Structure 1
Amino acid sequence: MTTRSEPGQGRPDPGLDAIMSERRQLINLAYRLLGSLAEAEDAVQETYTRWYAMTRQQQDAIESPGAWLTTVASRVCLNLLGSARARRETYVGEWIPEPLPERTEWISGRPGGGSVDPADRVTLDESVNLAFLVVLESMTPAERVAFILHDVFCHSFAEVAEIVGRSPGACRQLASSARRRIRDSQPSATPSAQRAGVVRDFKQAWEARDIDALIGLLDPDATAIADGGGLATTFLHPIEGGEQVAHAWAEIARRKPDNMTFQERMVNGQPGLVAEQDGVTVTVFAFDVAGDRIKQIWVVRNPEKLRHWSTG
């Protein structure tokens, strides 16, 4: 058993490192559950608040602090998901999950700047690409929690049942339903290098305002969705159809300020684009690419969701 110093001895709690080492895992879990790094950080903070609200004796009685933290964080996220739909009914325009840059590019959103603590970074894999997170948004809170805990974080259905408050069999059904939603969304399996090439060609055609080239790169049924959160100007309703999206993007290029540049960057582990003004990221563009065509474009302009992106 890990020993702890008694109050007044002036030595740090030797169990602190073990408890805080769980932070990265909790951030990774909460981000996938909530689709928002800001909300994930709040959920994890609440989890630690509950841990330190217990007495030392109560903490020592917990056989696996890591499992306890995961359970509490998952329940906090489940509660947040339950109220998310109501909160988003008042959201201005469309809501898109918070996009993340490559880990090496993260800039702290905290006052004073500085590098983000490694424990605050999200592991970027296929379970956090924007297309996947958007599908998760269509699930019920219980489906999302059961699926993420079991299929992504490999918890048993017995463990999931304890968190969700349902039987293991019911949790198995929830995860199965979530998998069907994932399959029905038909996520593309286009190699990253091919995706990057399509996005690069789109950027060049966009900057050249080449309508025909843009149309050729867009699926005829392509859709573009933007999230400004009422804090940045953007289109409020989805743009549907490849030709309509192409003309909209040509208009965006025409109105582009002289000090704005478009850069190729990774967005949630997938090739994307960002718009920068004087070193500050003002827009992130994520793409769903199938073969040699773009099926979906997500445009994030809400500055509250871009706090990790600025390089200036």
Structure 2
Amino acid sequence: MNIRNYFTACIVCLGMTLTVSAQEQPEQDSTGLPGDNFSLQGALDLFKQSASPEAFEKLLNSANSKVNNLDLNEDGNTDYIRIVNKKENDVQVFILQALVSSTESQDIAVIELEKKGDNNAIVQIVGDPDIYGESVIAEPAEEEDNAFNYPPTSHGPAASSPEGIVVNVWLWPCVRFVYAPAYAVWVSPWTWYSHPVWYRPWRPLPWYAYRPVRYTYARRYVVVPVHRIPPARVIYRPVRVTSVTVINRNRVVVNNYRTTRNVNRYTPQRTNSGGRQYQSNTPARADRGSAINRGERADRRARVSENRPGGRNGGNRTRSGRRKADRGN
């Protein structure tokens, strides 16, 4: 084999190695949870683009958006996601609910929205713990034209927060639409038996193909550790819907995720793109020492004390005797 053929063979082998690595790499950040196949950031981005909740539902169930890749009932087609709106004063929730069967539905996420003033509103999307293993919260990341740090009593495009900047979403078309005086809350009329004429289900993508599309939405949104709209949870809690079929089917993977998941504290840090990322700065509970470890350390101290001459109490009496003897001399 001459040198040219040798280098050609090396290049071919290297190309094959890189190809295999590229195919295997996307699998590494898959949790195996159902939530891997639904982009919270993508849903919030579609909400931003929509003119109304009805238009949002249509975009969400469009194959072109590629936000929804869920097949919870494993029938080979993506699940239809309907929108259910609830409102109380200036707080609104938009429930994203998958139609699993003729008798069951499963909540996927909730968009929480609150009007904070005449020209201010904040929004978050919260992933359902049965789908994501825990409540995952995402919100818009601050950008040059939508966020500034300013006193919360003033008016402007953003609000101050201990956890960082809060983005004002009042200029989103759907937000202004749902706070118009004539707006009536939207409840999707579609059911398992009745779908809109425009809807065409599609085959879900495999993870390696869905992952790159899913993460294109993550650049403009950030996962945060805090609920900013507590009243929204009060509105949503009584109407939450879960599917026994979905819970049983994913029980093992969800329980494993919750068991191995470390509960960390987070603090906001700036990123080069202007957004926020939250990283752990607190050691895990095991690192700080559990009650069992503290008990073991106490037992070791007691055993060391007892192994000393005279034991714990005997040692004290001996030292006391020495002191008396010294005074006598």
Q: TM-score, normalised by structure 2?
A: 0.21
Q: TM-score, normalised by structure 1?
A: 0.22
